[in-house]
Amino acid sequence: MREYLWFACGVTVSAILFAALLFSDFWKRSAGRLASEDRADKDAAVHNGTAAGGPALDTDTAPDEKRMATSSLGYDYEVFLSFRGPDTRSGITNFLYTSLMDEGIRTYRDDKDLRCGQVVGLELLKAIHQSKISIPIFSKGYASSRWCLQELAHIVKCKKTRGQIIIPIFYDVTPSEVRLRTGVYVEALSLHETEKRYTDETIREWKAALEEAGNIKGYDLSMRNRGEGEFAKQLAQDVLVALKTPYLVVSDCLVGIDHHVDEIMQMMGTRIQETWIVGIYGMGGVGKTTLAKFIYNQLSPDFENCCFLSNIRETSELYGVERVQNQLLSGVLRQNWLIIENSSEGSRMIEERISSKKVLLLLDDVDNEIQLNALMGKRDWFGEGSKLIITTRNRDLLNDHKVGYTHDLTGMNLDQSMQLFSRHAFRRESPLDEYVTLSKKAVDIAGGLPLALEVIGSLLSRTNKERWDDKLEAFKRALVKFRAS
Report the C-alpha gap between 22 and 409 in whole angstroms: 21
Angle between helices 228-244 and 94-102 (to 10 degrees): 50
Q: What is the separation of C-alpha 69 from the centre of its chain, rounded to a whole number of angstroms?
A: 15
Q: Which amino acid is at 474?
A: A
| CA nearest neighbour of 122 among 57, 76, 65 | 65
Q: What is the separation of C-alpha 333 from the centre of its chain, rounded to a whole number of angstroms?
A: 26
Q: What is the separation of C-alpha 417 from the centre of its chain, rounded to a whole number of angstroms?
A: 18
Q: Following DSSP, what letter does each residue of 39-71 receive, concatenated?
A: HHHHHHHHHHT-STTSPPPPTTS-HHHHHHHT-
Q: Residue 297: how many CA atoms within 13 Å on its side-chain side?
A: 23
Report the C-alpha gap between 361 and 331 in whole angstroms: 10
Q: Given strand 305-309, what is the order of strands in its sheet?
A: 305-309, 359-366, 387-392, 276-281, 405-408
Query: Which are the contacts of 337, defined by CB distance < 8 A and separation ≥ 6?
Result: 326, 329, 330, 349
Strand residue runs (E) in 291-419: 305-309, 359-366, 387-392, 405-408
Q: Following DSSP, what letter does each residue of 165-217 receive, concatenated?
A: EE--EESSS-HHHHTTSSSHHHHHHHHHHHHT-S-HHHHHHHHHHHHHHHTS-
Instruction: Note if 151 is an active site residue.
Output: yes
**Looking at 78, 151, 177, 322, which residue is catalytic?**
151
Angle between helices 468-484 and 450-460 (to 10 degrees): 140
Angle between helices 414-425 and 450-460 (to 10 degrees): 40
- DSSP code of residue 373: H
Dihedral of CA atoms 19, 23, 29, 33 in degrees, nearest 10, equals 70
Residues in the chain: 485
Query: Which are the contacts of 181, defined by CB distance < 8 A and separation ≥ 6?
Result: none
Report the C-alpha gap between 91 and 171 in whole angstroms: 11
Query: Which are the contacts of 128, defined by CB distance < 8 A and separation ≥ 6?
Result: 80, 82, 134, 151, 154, 155, 158
Report the C-alpha gap between 165 and 128 in whole angstroms: 11
Which residues are catalytic, by number? 151
